[in-house]
């Protein structure tokens, strides 16, 4: 039976628009359904973080005696940050407006709908059934609300609602990376922050890198409680109280950082045989093999998910997402980014074949000039130079991880960074230093080569004319 589209994208998010544009460039017939998307809180969050960084920089300038100014009140700072973020959102929306999408051959449907079986299987929008070979769900991400006694009556903030004021005291509950970013931002804007995590600090990251980020937060005055369960929250007079383990913590506001999930409740997925909780396989297929779901991460991997999902949806479903090749980043200060195996994972799999190379940001000219010397890069390789994983803590870590991801995906060895010719002074020079250090370690473990080189240069000196 003929269908109208090759792909219907559900959700006018950044992920959804990227998917629609990518499919249209491949000459597929595409429609995108708006699906009641609210404003993107990601840009607002990063705008607040930028204001926090500026506030810290001004404090440092004042400490050096170069400039003195009373920083404007925190409320005004947040108001300006929100206005700035709204302007950015508006600009991005104009770049991907319905008119622009239509000019590229994409049908934009400014409405919402749900899946249906009758009279035909498809996506029902305004009494019209969109029939397609495949569907890609790219709806917005909504915060996960943990089941904590008293939470609903006491009240809380999420990434969608935080930012109206700067609380004197802020308790952040949850293990999601956004909690770390929010803790640092509001601490720098003047809040007394407590971060409560039920697990260890950044358990999926390399331990050495995670400990440095935790130490940075604590050095700035943030209280970090790990392996601590929140069992109850209560409101007593004007204050909120959080029962965390055996501690009762007083606070003005509670921020939830328990993770995110796609907003799927209104899509009637049950009609397509998909039950909750909704899961996808490594091909990003749901329980219905023609329905794909992307955007399960609010950080770094949405576009990679789309690339895999599109190849499967438009062509043949044989491509799989490989977590070992997916970069992760947390936009703290300094940033942390990683890809591939941790040191302990590599040792378990490859044993004595593992070579660890470290370089520190304090050795870089640019880091010294900008006084951003905190951090390091750890590259985990095999003895033949194959890159197994990389972990970076430092300025622009989220940018520096990209060449590593490319090298891993293209099966390039660590030696390649010695040939790329990074400009100086830049932070990317650290990749060249990694390659040089790897070569040095290789030479130090090869006594035969050392003896040969020593003899070679002795002979050249003796026969110099």
State the Cα–Cα distance between residues 54 and 69, nearest whole angstrom.
13
Binding site: which residues?
113, 174-181, 259
Q: Is 34 in contact with 75 (CB distance < 8 Å)?
A: no
Binding site for FAD: which residues?
113
Binding site for NAD(+): which residues?
174-181, 259
């Amino acid at each position: 039976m003929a269908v109208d589209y090759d792909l219907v994208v559900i959700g006018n998010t950044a992920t959804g628009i990227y998917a629609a544009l990518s499919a249209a460039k491949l000459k597929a017939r595409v429609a995108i359904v708006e699906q009641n998307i609210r404003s993107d809180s990601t840009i607002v969050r990063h705008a607040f973080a930028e204001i926090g960084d500026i506030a810290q920089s001004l404090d440092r300038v004042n400490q050096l005696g170069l400039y003195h100014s009373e920083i404007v009140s925190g409320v005004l700072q947040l108001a300006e940050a929100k206005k700035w973020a709204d302007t950015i959102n508006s600009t991005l929306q104009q770049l991907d407006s319905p008119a622009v999408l239509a000019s590229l051959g994409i049908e934009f449907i400014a409405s919402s709908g749900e899946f249906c079986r009758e009279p035909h299987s498809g996506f029902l929008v305004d009494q019209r059934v969109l029939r397609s070979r495949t569907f890609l769900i790219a709806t917005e991400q909504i915060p996960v609300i943990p089941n904590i006694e008293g939470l609903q009556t006491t009240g809380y903030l999420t990434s969608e609602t935080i930012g109206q004021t700067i609380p004197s005291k802020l308790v952040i509950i949850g293990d999601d990376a956004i909690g770390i970013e929010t803790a640092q931002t509001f601490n720098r804007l003047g809040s007394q922050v407590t971060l409560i995590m039920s697990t260890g600090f950044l358990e999926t990251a390399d331990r050495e890198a995670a400990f440095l980020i935790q130490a940075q937060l604590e050095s700035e005055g943030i209280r970090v409680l790990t392996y601590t369960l929140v069992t109850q929250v209560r409101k007593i007079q004007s204050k909120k109280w959080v029962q965390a383990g055996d501690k009762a913590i007083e606070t003005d506001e509670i921020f939830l950082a328990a993770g995110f999930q796609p907003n799927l409740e209104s899509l009637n997925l049950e009609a397509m045989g998909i039950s909750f909780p909704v899961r996808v396989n490594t091909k990003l297929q749901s329980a219905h093999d023609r329905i794909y779901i992307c955007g399960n991460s609010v950080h770094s991997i949405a576009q990679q998910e789309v690339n895999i999902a599109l190849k499967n949806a438009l062509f043949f479903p044989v491509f799989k997402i490989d977590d070992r090749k997916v970069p992760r980043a947390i936009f703290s200060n300094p940033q942390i980014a990683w890809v591939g195996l941790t040191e302990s994972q590599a040792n378990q799999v490859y044993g004595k074949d593992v070579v660890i190379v470290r370089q520190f940001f304090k050795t870089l000219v640019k880091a010294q000039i900008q006084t951003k010397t905190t951090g390091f890069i750890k590259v985990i390789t095999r003895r033949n130079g194959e890159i197994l994983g990389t972990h970076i803590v430092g300025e622009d870590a989220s940018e520096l991880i990209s060449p590593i991801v490319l090298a891993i995906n293209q099966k390039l060895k660590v030696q390649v960074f010695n040939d790329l010719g990074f400009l100086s002074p830049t932070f990317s020079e650290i990749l060249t230093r990694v390659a040089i250090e790897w070569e040095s370690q290789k030479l130090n473990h090869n006594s035969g080569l050392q003896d040969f080189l020593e003899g070679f240069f002795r002979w050249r000196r003796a026969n110099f004319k």
